[in-house]
């Protein structure tokens, strides 16, 4: 089945540690995205990538880093510089061209930092 996978579903880390969240898609989509969601709020864009080896900062990129070495993969690293990393993280992908850019989302990773 085609789709987006994120792992793990739940992740616990100690403050001061970097942690990498996985995102893989087999939809052959060019664009991939990382969002953060806090309780009761909408999604906020962290980073997005339209092509391999290129990515752009979203609204809340500080304290995060990404890489896009393969079309299928867009891992997100939450660094110790992120002041409030506990959140629900969502990865998405979409096509780039045409008149419809619906984004397909993974199941999310819930990160808790103590």
Binding residues for another protein, per CB under 8 A? Answer: 4, 31, 35, 40-45, 48, 50, 56, 58, 88, 90, 92, 94, 96, 99-108, 110
Closest distance of CB 17 from another protein, Å: 24
Exposed e or buried b per residue across 66-99, where buried means at least 16 C-beta atoms within 10 angstroms of its C-beta:
bbbeebbebbbebeeebeebebebbbbbbeeeee
Please work out, in degrees rounded to the nearest 5, the angle formed at the alpha carbon of residue 108 by the alpha carbons of 105 and 111. 150
**Is 18 or 57 the residue whose CB approaches another protein more closely?**
57
**Is 75 or 80 the residue whose CB approaches another protein more closely?**
75
3-class DSSP state of 28 = coil
Closest distance of CB 25 from another protein, Å: 12
């Amino acid at each position: 089945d085609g789709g987006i996978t994120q792992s793990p579903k739940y992740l616990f880390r100690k403050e001061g540690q970097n942690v990498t969240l996985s995102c893989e898609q087999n939809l052959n989509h060019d664009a991939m995205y990382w969002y953060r969601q806090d309780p009761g709020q909408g999604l906020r864009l962290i980073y997005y990538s339209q092509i391999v080896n290129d990515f752009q900062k979203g609204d809340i990129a500080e304290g995060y880093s990404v890489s896009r070495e393969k079309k299928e993969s867009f891992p997100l690293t939450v660094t110790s510089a992120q002041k409030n990393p506990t959140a629900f993280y969502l990865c998405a992908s979409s096509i780039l061209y045409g008149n419809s850019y619906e984004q397909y989302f993974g199941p999310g990773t819930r990160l808790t930092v103590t």
